[in-house]
Structure 1
Amino acid sequence: MPTASPRHGNDIPVGQDRIFDGLADKFANSLYATARGQIRLAVLDQLLSCSLPQDGAAALDVGGGLGQMSVWLAERGHDVTLAEPSAEMLARAQAEFGELPIRALKASIQALPELAPGPWPLVVCHAVLEWLAQPRQAVVTLKSLLAPGGRLSLMVFNRDALRFSNVVKGNLDKALEDRLSGTGQRQRLTPISPLTHADLERWCREEGLVIESVAGIRIFHDYLRERSPDEAQLATIIELEKRYCQTEPHWRLGRYLHYIIRHADSAGPEETF
């Protein structure tokens, strides 16, 4: 008789990626319909408007979820393909495309070298690596998708910020014992593989990828006592987040870390952050 696979919490086997079928409403309501989501999109808008090619380059949105970044890119003239492994999330994303010419592809990141090999001048991969059992291997895959000189917009969940947040909330033993990774339980959205800036620095160096910039996303909001600001307060918080997202030491405690990464097989400046 075959033995059951080891399990991570009550839901997913150890070593298995987290796919979000059944959680589209939770993502839409608990993230993007809140101040957290508004701040995330506002800061990304500022960062990407300054960093990404403006020539309508073809773009691959890896693990694009509900499609916010695909829509953002398409509205700015990019030829976008959204790849998402969750059928439910992909269907919700397609409902938001309207007349925008965005192609939808049901595919995991591991399948993309075969299904969407490119090479792509622009790859976007936001809040994906932290839900993978092997995030290091995903960096190899993302590099393989990039054209020489191409740019990768990468955003990951920050393990150091997660530790700090647990201390602020009084989860002292959990922080001290470094029990920070999520368990994969069905309704919990703590990532199974939160990452550090040191992780990304090392992996990019090993793969010959150049980090051109780094920023923190939600560097202040998630530590506030009042997490549901009114419209005027939210505008002020967004201004603070935009102003200090790339400033030492604040960016290091962003709930997410955002990187612009260049495929190093081209001439260009070294790391500039």
Structure 2
Amino acid sequence: MTRQLDEQIAGRFPVGQRLRVLDVGMGQGTQALRLARAGHKVTGVEQDSAMVAAARDALAAEPEGIRGRVRIVEGDGRETGVHFLPGSFDVVLCHGVLMYVEEPDALLAGLARMLAPGGLLSLLVRNADALAMRPGLAGDWAGAMGAFDSTVYRNRIGLEARADRLDAVSASLAGIAAPLHAWYGVRVFTDGAADDAVPPPEAELTALLAAEERAGRTDPYRRVAALLHVCGVRD
């Protein structure tokens, strides 16, 4: 997904432009730090205090120039209007958050308001059209049958979460004046891998990533990906 995001940024903004980035649900700051190292000014919002602490620790290990380009705000991503003025950011990321929000439209509208005209909204959501894939490939036939018409699932840590269908996300983006610009599949072949799986040797890992990248851009494979990376552009 990193390559997909970089591709969208490169296609929207002049080379070398220092962007204002908002990362909602920044977690431990992996994406925020990567973008700060690339020269962008990044504001991360995270409500989990343990994640905030991890992000601050990771930031503290960076050189001073990078530390100066990152701001961490502990708070709820649904309250961006409390912290920031409309149009304050060129890029807004919301990766792995919407599945835990019961009614996402208000959050999406708030994120769109943060974007300057022509700004990029990058979302990572669970793919409701592929919920039967994981249990089906694991031989859990009852689970697969129950997933076909559902948008609710239980994740690997036991939390109940919500999935989204591409058509619904596209309609929501159109409704908040940030219509769909591009979308990709994420974890087409690797969704069944254990979270603690040891990475394969370098050559195999390179081949795996290349296959995932190709599948994530190609129909029909991307339509059965575990996650969808959806990009909208502010009118």
Partners of 1:89 and 1:49 lie apart in 2 by 24
- Which residue of structure 1 aligns with residue 19 of structure 2? 57
Partners of 1:108 and 1:89 lie apart in 2 by 13
With over 3 angstroms needed to count, the CA separation of the structure-2 counterparts of 1:70 and 1:189, relative to structure 1, is: farther
Match for 1:192: what amino acid?
A
- Which residue of structure 1 aligns with residue 117 of structure 2? 148
CA contact (8 A) 2:109 2:176 kept: yes
CA contact (8 A) 1:244 1:251 kept: yes
Offset, 1:153: 1.3
Partners of 1:45 and 1:111 lie apart in 2 by 26
Partners of 1:249 and 1:191 lie apart in 2 by 28
| 2:174 aligned counterpart, secondary structure | helix
| 2:105 aligned counterpart, secondary structure | helix
- Structure 2 length as normaliser, TM-score? 0.84
- Which residue of structure 2 aligns with residue 256 of structure 1? 227
CA contact (8 A) 1:57 1:78 kept: yes
- Which residue of structure 2 aligns with residue 181 of structure 1? 152
Partners of 2:50 and 2:193 lie apart in 1 by 33
| 2:143 aligned counterpart, secondary structure | helix
Offset, 1:149: 1.4
| 1:221 aligned counterpart, secondary structure | coil
Partners of 2:158 and 2:206 lie apart in 1 by 26
Offset, 1:228: 5.0
Partners of 2:169 and 2:151 lie apart in 1 by 18
Matched, 1:160 2:160: no
- Which residue of structure 1 aligns with residue 206 of structure 2? 235
Offset, 1:171: 2.6
Match for 2:128: what amino acid?
R
- Structure 1 length as normaliser, TM-score? 0.73
* Unmatched tracts of structure 1, length 5 or more: 1-43, 265-273
Offset, 1:247: 1.0
With over 3 angstroms needed to count, the CA separation of the structure-2 counterparts of 1:95 and 1:147, relative to structure 1, is: same
CA contact (8 A) 1:130 1:192 kept: yes
Partners of 2:204 and 2:120 lie apart in 1 by 34
Question: Alignment identity in percent?
Answer: 25
Structure 1 counterpart of 2:182, from 190, 195, 213 = 213
| 2:18 aligned counterpart, secondary structure | coil
Structure 2 counterpart of 1:201, from 170, 189, 199 = 170
Matched, 1:47 2:4: yes
- Which residue of structure 2 aligns with residue 4 of structure 1? none
Matched, 1:116 2:73: no
CA contact (8 A) 1:135 1:193 kept: no
Match for 1:46: what amino acid?
R
Encode CA deviations 1:16-38: one digit per residue, 9 max, x unaligned: xxxxxxxxxxxxxxxxxxxxxxx
Partners of 1:166 and 1:180 lie apart in 2 by 14
Matches within 5 A, 1:23-102: 44-52=1-9, 53=13, 54=15, 55-97=17-59, 98-99=62-63, 100=66, 101=68, 102=70
Partners of 2:127 and 2:77 lie apart in 1 by 20
Partners of 2:23 and 2:186 lie apart in 1 by 19
Offset, 1:71: 0.7
Partners of 2:199 and 2:21 lie apart in 1 by 34
CA RMSD, 1 decimal? 2.2
CA contact (8 A) 2:121 2:178 kept: no
Offset, 1:190: 5.0
Matched, 1:105 2:69: no
With over 3 angstroms needed to count, the CA separation of the structure-2 counterparts of 1:157 and 1:117, relative to structure 1, is: farther
Partners of 1:170 and 1:242 lie apart in 2 by 26
Offset, 1:118: 4.3
Partners of 1:246 and 1:190 lie apart in 2 by 29
Encode CA deviations 1:150-178: one digit per residue, 9 max, x unaligned: 11111111122222112222232233233
CA contact (8 A) 1:212 1:261 kept: yes
Match for 2:189: what amino acid?
F
Offset, 1:137: 2.2
